[in-house]
Structure 1
Amino acid sequence: MRALLGSIVFLFVAPGTVVGLIPWLMTGWQASDPMPWWSPVPVAVLGTVLLAAGLAVLLHTFGQFVAEGLGTPFPAAPPRHLVVGGLYRYVRNPMYVAVVTAVLGQALLLGRLNLLVYAVCVWAVTASFVRFREEPVLARRFGGEYTVYRRAVRAWWPRLRPWDGAELGPARAVGRREEFG
């Protein structure tokens, strides 16, 4: 229950700020007037799809931290287990990919170039954080388990087929909900 409540709070504070508050402060969530040439109706529809997909993935990944990791994505209350199930079987950073996707969706939906630039900045900052802070912490915390996972699943570009986790051994098969010690 603590992991669930902590994840909900963190969801509103961190991604809520990056995907919600900052884009709203930048645009008031108002479409560009006049809409730029690159933002016809099909592009706005694509933006809506990207925004919805990003938000859905974000919610799924937060749930995965609670159910599988028995913790939160918040660094002060990390998961007890390495999260490698669900969408993490396809890409190591689905939460961050979802955040950037949601911002890109808003940029296309609203026809706002400043949100496209913001999305690139969000990705650059996030990728730097992952590379220089998060990955070393995960390597120290989860050791060989993280090394195997990192070799099998790309950071930013999803796999076509889900990783099965067989390299981690039978006690750590992906999709199991038991304690992995």
Structure 2
Amino acid sequence: MKLLLLRNFVFTILQSGTVVGLIPFLIVEPKLNDMLTQQLKISHYLGMLIFTLGFFMMLICIRSFAIDGKGTLSPADPTKRLVIKGLYKFSRNPMYIGVLTILMGETIFFKSYQLLIYLLLIFIAFNIFIILVEEPRLRRDFGKEYLDYCKKVERWG
């Protein structure tokens, strides 16, 4: 179990950390000093709230992958069991929704059109990956169980 938690931590830093941390930082970095010296406004608090919601969604999903799925969020180390409990009762992709929510919070906090464009590109990339890679793998790995799940729960909830 400790090794599984460590693998989840590493993949979270490498994958999610890059998507919601490193790349957004590189996008806003030229303006960061000016932005962070401003007084906080309602939009900043709203951005922080949305970011926090997305962050907790992501953590809940990572926990579900480890505990219920016996795997990680990474396609390189996928779950051994189909995860259909918790947030996965409402959406087949709450992990992606959590990541997109984090990016939305960052976009609002920094009032950045560049981050908004990045958010839209990530949403498109997620859809392509889900449809072309993830869903075929889940059908292959979990068969009827996954097909039944798809009948009950929508892709984006």
Taking the aligned partners of 1:6 and 1:95, their CA distance within structure 2 comes to: 17
Report the AA paired with residue 32 of structure 2: Q
Counterparts of residues 9-88 of structure 1 (less than 5 Å): 9-28=10-29, 30=32, 41-88=41-88
What RMSD, in angstroms, separates the aligned Cα atoms of the two structures?
1.7
Q: Once the two structures are superposed, what CA deviation does each residue of 1:84-126 show, in whole Å capped at 9, x if it has no partner?
A: 1111111110110111110110010111111011100000001
Taking the aligned partners of 1:12 and 1:60, their CA distance within structure 2 comes to: 15
Counterparts of residues 91-170 of structure 1 (less than 5 Å): 91-157=91-157
Give % identity: 36
Q: Once the two structures are superposed, what CA deviation does each residue of 1:22-43 show, in whole Å capped at 9, x if it has no partner?
A: 000111272876xxxxxx9333
Taking the aligned partners of 1:76 and 1:19, their CA distance within structure 2 comes to: 19
Name stretches of at least 5 consecutive residues in structure 1 with no aligned partner.
34-39, 158-181
Deviation at 1:79, TM superposition (A): 1.1
Larger helix proportion of the pair? 2
Taking the aligned partners of 2:112 and 2:76, their CA distance within structure 1 comes to: 35
- Indicate the SS of the match to 2:143: helix
Report the AA paired with residue 148 of structure 1: D
Taking the aligned partners of 1:68 and 1:30, their CA distance within structure 2 comes to: 40
Given that residues 107 and 116 in structure 1 are in contact (C-alpha distance below 8 angstroms), is that contact kept between their aligned partners in structure 2?
yes
Report the AA paired with residue 63 of structure 1: R
Query: How many residues of Structure 1 are paired with residues of Structure 2 in the alignment?
Result: 151
Taking the aligned partners of 2:73 and 2:111, their CA distance within structure 1 comes to: 31
- Indicate the SS of the match to 2:32: coil
1:4 corresponds to: 5
* Larger-Rg structure: 1
1:179 corresponds to: none
Report the AA paired with residue 119 of structure 2: A
Taking the aligned partners of 2:44 and 2:33, their CA distance within structure 1 comes to: 10
Larger mean CA deviation between 112-121 and 69-78 belongs to: 69-78
Deviation at 1:44, TM superposition (A): 2.5
Report the AA paired with residue 30 of structure 1: L
Name stretches of at least 5 consecutive residues in structure 2 with no aligned partner.
none
Deviation at 1:76, TM superposition (A): 2.3
